Structure 1
Amino acid sequence: MSSAPEPRVRLATAQDADAVFRLLTGFATTYRPDPDRFTAVTFPEVLRAAAEGRAEFLVADQQSRVVGYAYAARIPTLFAGGTVLELLELAVDAPLRGHGTGSRLVREVQHRARQAGDAEVTVPTRRAADFYRRLDFTETATYLKWPSPPRP
């Protein structure tokens, strides 16, 4: 009996849009992703930000099927004396959770942060705090947010 090979982490491409949207709909708890806006605006903008070095956008694929993704935005800061890479989204297919795919994606984000000279990698989460602690993250702040009213 053979098991499936471990997912490999690679840069996201335009061809990954449908798979990322599928994962996103399982990840988003506060927002309901709009498929038209995703296709026309947000997915292309995230790809552009990654191509320009303003973000990291990675997918994990297993046998040519995307099974996870990570999106982190690079933010210039004054307090850190450089850029901070904020890991905003990490999603893995439910059957693969707990088997190292998410950890593999996060480790690659950390590696890319080191290569880029980012001051730190941050993650705004409470729900997955234990997962990130196992990957050497420490709790330093609580996120507060103000939801901007919808555009007319």
Structure 2
Amino acid sequence: MSSAAEPTVRPATRTDANAVFRLLRDFATTYRPDRARYEAVTFPEVLRAAAEHRAEFLVAERGTQVVGYAYAARMPTLFAGGTVLELLELAVDAPLRGHGTGSRLVREVQDRARRAGDTEVTVPTRRAVDFYRRLDFTETATFLKWPVPGAGM
């Protein structure tokens, strides 16, 4: 793949809302994204968290088209003796999967974790274990969840 085809990764901005929502619809398997809630609450909150260095919210572009995004939340921990950056969402346009865009986004998340002094990057996933292993992640835990009754999803 030539360098011209390499995606550019940059912080997400409010102008990326439509492109990220399009990718989110394909990414979400457990929840159905609600456009009104996304625009009014979740997208602005994720942007705010990134601006306050509580998260990393990145998009990948080819030319001027957003073709992927990554969202990772930074959490202070007692067990790790510092902050852990948890990669919660990684989405890439289906036709571009397997061509380096997701890897480029993850590497940028890892670089930002290193620069921020985070102790580790974690990923809760079942579907993409092999992908993350190729990027030097190791399996260490099982991820469990408890859906809060009455939550908006």
Query: What is the SS of the residue equivalent to 2:88?
Result: strand
Percent of pairs identical after alignment? 81
Query: What is the SS of the residue equivalent to 1:108?
Result: helix
Provide the residue aligned with 2:5 in structure 1.
5
Q: CA deviation at 1:5?
A: 2.6
1:36 aligned partner, one-letter code? A
1:130 aligned partner, one-letter code? D
Query: What is the SS of the residue equivalent to 2:114?
Result: helix
CA distance in 1, matches of 2:86, 2:151: 26
Provide the residue aligned with 2:111 in structure 1.
111
Provide the residue aligned with 1:27 in structure 2.
27
Q: CA deviation at 1:3?
A: 9.9
Query: What is the SS of the residue equivalent to 2:106?
Result: helix
Q: CA deviation at 1:123?
A: 0.0
CA distance in 2, matches of 1:70, 1:4: 21
Structure 1: gaps spanning 5 or more residues: none
CA distance in 1, matches of 2:140, 2:114: 20
Provide the residue aligned with 1:98 in structure 2.
98
Cα offsets for 1:81-136 (capped at 9, x unmatched): 00000000000000000000000000000000000000000000011000000000
Provide the residue aligned with 2:57 in structure 1.
57
Query: What is the SS of the residue equivalent to 1:112?
Result: helix
1:12 aligned partner, one-letter code? A
CA distance in 1, matches of 2:138, 2:146: 24
CA distance in 2, matches of 1:60, 1:54: 20
- Using the size of structure 1 for normalisation, the TM-score is 0.96
Provide the residue aligned with 1:17 in structure 2.
17
CA distance in 2, matches of 1:111, 1:150: 38
CA distance in 2, matches of 1:5, 1:137: 26
Query: What is the SS of the residue equivalent to 1:19?
Result: helix
C-alpha distance 79-99 of structure 1, shift in aligned 2 (>3 A): same
CA distance in 2, matches of 1:130, 1:40: 35
Q: CA deviation at 1:151?
A: 4.4
CA distance in 2, matches of 1:146, 1:80: 23
- Using the size of structure 2 for normalisation, the TM-score is 0.96
Number of positions where the alignment pairs a residue of Structure 1 with one of Structure 2: 151
Provide the residue aligned with 1:48 in structure 2.
48
C-alpha distance 3-117 of structure 1, shift in aligned 2 (>3 A): closer
